[in-house]
Amino acid sequence: MRCNADESNKTTMFDETQPGALSIDIENRWIYYGQDQYDGEIYRITFDGKERRVIYNQSLVTFGIQVDVIDKRLYWNEYTTGDIKSAWYNGSDVQIVKRTDFRQNWGLDTNDDFIFYSSQYSIVKMAKSVGQTPTVVHNDTSQIYAVLLFKQQGKDYDENERIARLNDAGLNSDWFKHDLKQENETGCN
C-alpha cells in the first residue's frame, strides 16, 4: 500500500501473502521485494503496480534486500542458507557474493564499498566483491532485525543535484520536500 503523508490517496499496489523484504529504486521507479517462503521469489514491480515480474525464482526466505544505485545491482540475503547474493536489476548475472556460516540473516544495506547485514545478534560488514571475508562490527544480546545506513560516505549531494535526481526520476521535487516535512507528523495506517 502507498499513500500521501496526510494518509490520503491510499492505493493497494499489489496483493502478496508473505512479503519478507522491500527496497525502492527511486531512479528507475521500481520496487523490489522478496518473500518469506522457503520456495520464494524476488519480484520487481512498477510504482503504479501495473507491471510485476519475477526476477529470481530460487530464493530461500528473503528478509534483507537492497537496491545499490552505485553498482546498479540488487543485493539480498537468504535467511535459511546465510548466502549473500546479487544480480543486475533485471535478475540476470546472479552471483553468490558470500556463503556465510551464519543463519538467520535479516536486514541488509549497502554503501559505496560495503555490504552491511544483520545475522542473529551481530551486524556484519564486508566488501561488495565476491569472496570477501565478513567482519563483525557490532554484537548485541538481542536479535538484530534491520540495518539502515542513513548517509553514504562520499555521496553528499548539493540541493541542486538532489532536485535534478528527483526530477530525473519523474518526481516533483517540491512535492517530495513537502512530503518529507510532513512525514514525521503523520503516516499510512
Mean pLDDT for 137-160 is 73
Residue 62: band (very low, low, confident or very high) from pLDDT cuts 50, 70, 90: confident
d(CA 138, CA 125): 9
Q: When comparing pLDDT for 175 and 116, which is higher? A: 116
d(CA 31, CA 66): 10
Question: Cβ distance 59 to 41 under 8 Å?
Answer: yes
What pLDDT score does 93 carry? Answer: 95
Strand segments (E) across 28-161: 30-35, 40-46, 52-59, 62-68, 73-78, 84-88, 95-98, 105-110, 114-119, 122-127, 135-139
What pLDDT score does 173 carry? Answer: 41
Supply φ then ψ for residue 115, to 5 degrees. -110, 135
Mean pLDDT for 135-153 is 81
d(CA 61, CA 20): 7
pLDDT digits (tens, 9 = 90+) for 82-129: 888 999 999 999 999 888 766 778 888 998 889 998 888 889 998 988
**pTM of the shown model:** 0.71
Which residues touch 181 (CB under 8 Å, ≥6 apart)?
none
Please give the mean pLDDT across all residues of the chain.
Answer: 78
Question: Cβ distance 176 to 24 under 8 Å?
Answer: no
Residue 86 in grid coordinates: 546479487
